[in-house]
Amino acid sequence: LHVSGRVQGGGAVPPGIVQIGVANPELARRAVEAGRSCSLTTAVLEEWSRLGTPKQVEYLAGYLEAERSSREASKRATLLRRCALPAPKTFDGYDWSAVSWPEGMGRESLLALDFVGRREDLVLMGDVGTGKTHMASALCALACERRLEARFFTASSLVMRLRRARDDGRLDREAAIIGKARLLVIDELGFLPLDADGARLLFQVLADAYERQSVVFTTNLEFSRCGRCSGTTRWPPP
């Protein structure tokens, strides 16, 4: 049994610590791993995790793991709030029976967000009421749960937001904020007509996103009509 106020090398023993042999290496690893994710000093964590009894280090590891979980939950909540979903959705109970998949993609790949990792885009196409917006919203929520930044806009609301930013002289700053999202959803593309100015603003966001972000579009337009973003506006705009 060794009780001391100092440790070899000059480091201070934490108050109340009684050194009896060496702590369980697995417990020490847990403490260090959890603490590093909390931006604590690795050298101090390693020293403290070696000094206590297995029970003491287990308590320390539990505390640090709880801190890590709390920070991760706070991060998810912040991302979900920033995403600005009109009605948060999940895939619980989602009806997959009407979904047809492109070659090389399926339900597991979608839920794994593989396309986000590859910076690929998705087009969710179908009639009104077929679950396009639900799927897009649930993908955003899933990204936030995995601590990936996502943003959700309708095409018309995004254009209005960009116009306001341009009129206020902060278009570049707004574009930079939108560009931080790993996943960008543009809902209801083609539902409302866009004039040439609005189409140019939207096209600039999409041009900036190319190979940098994943963009999910929802639309009721068939591919044969995708050359137009409305009945009168060419896409891309001139």
- In tens digits, the chain (238 residues) has pLDDT values of 333 344 444 455 555 554 545 567 887 787 777 777 767 788 888 888 888 888 888 888 888 888 888 889 999 999 999 998 988 899 999 999 889 988 888 999 999 999 999 999 999 998 888 899 999 999 999 999 999 999 999 999 999 999 999 999 999 999 999 999 999 999 998 888 888 999 999 999 999 999 999 999 999 876 545 444 443 344 455 5
Q: 3 CB contacts (<8 Å, ≥6 apart)?
A: 18, 19
Closest CA to 199 of 153, 231, 234: 234
What is the distance between the alpha carbons of residues 8 and 2, in angstroms, rounded to a whole number? 12
Give the per-residue pLDDT at 215: 95
Residue range(s) of every CATH 3.40.50.300 domain in the chain: 84-225
Asked if 65 and 31 touch (Cβ cutoff 8 Å), the reply is no
CATH assignment of 84-225?
3.40.50.300
What per-residue confidence (pLDDT) applies to 54?
Answer: 86
**What local confidence, expressed as pLDDT, does residue 23 receive?**
60
Contact yes or no for 28/46 (Cβ under 8 A): yes
Q: Is the pTM of this model over 0.75?
A: no
- Residue 223: what pLDDT? 53
